[in-house]
Amino acid sequence: MARLTTVANLSRGIADEGRMRKHLNRPLATIWARTKGVNMYKVVTKEDTIRIPAEYIRKEKSLNEHIDRLAASAFEGRFDDSNRFVLVTSNHEPIDRGRIIHGDGAIYQRVRFDAVLFCIEDYEVVEGAVSEVNDFGAFVRIGPMEALLHKSQIMEDHVDINAGMGLLEGRQSGRKLGVGSSVRARIVSLSPDTSDPRRSKIGLTCKQTGLGSHEWIYEDQN
């Protein structure tokens, strides 16, 4: 059974946020050339609406000065309508004039922006690293998310767990998995929570040929 995952520090997904923003400021063709081999990440141009509170509407103050901050706050760290997780946004541009809703006073402004998305699907094979070991198994970081690799899904062997040492070990095979281990796994359950990404659930398995610790895969191939 999948356990609640956490949305980890976004800066640890691909790179730190500063580097990501610098990356986004490059032409899209350059970004795509650098990321086309990483299927979990996509760079897209999106359109959406932000709410600009009335207190931001002041004489001699340009609304464009507030759009970057408000748009980043509205879209980053959330799932979009297609259940893709928005890591970072940049190059926010207003589209036409905003509209004011009677009784609200705020401006609802349509904006166009570039976004780096984290995209995963059911049964997809992903690469990650063990971030935590507990009595249930291991949490594996895949991009900005953490997924549960339950102890029953690690290997065809009884697994002994030493949570204090951050280590799992097959009783007969002697194969080990610990914090920091690189793993290849398949997603077997995926339940994004669009209202609170921290409550999203992702379950993994390594009990298939070609999956598991990178060390195990190398051993099996040689």
Cβ contacts of residue 213 below 8 Å, gap of 6+?
A: 175, 176, 177, 181, 182, 183, 206
| Most confidently predicted of 79-88, 108-117, 213-222 | 108-117
CATH architecture of 41-118: 2-Layer Sandwich (3.30)
> What residue type is assigned to position 101 of the chain?
I
Cβ contacts of residue 103 below 8 Å, gap of 6+?
A: none
- Record the pTM: 0.72
DSSP annotation of 215 reads H
- In words, the CATH class of domain 125-221 is mainly beta
Sorted by where each begins, the domain ranges of the chain are 41-118, 125-221
17: exposed, middle or buried (Cβ count in 10 Å: 0-12, 13-18, 19+): middle
pLDDT at 58: 67
- Condensed to tens digits (0 to 9), the pLDDT of residues 13-58 reads 434 444 444 444 444 334 333 434 346 889 999 999 999 888 777 6
pLDDT higher than 80, residue 60: no
b/e per residue 85-99 (b: at least 16 CB within 10 A): bbbbbbebebeeebe
Mean pLDDT of all residues belonging to the chain:
82
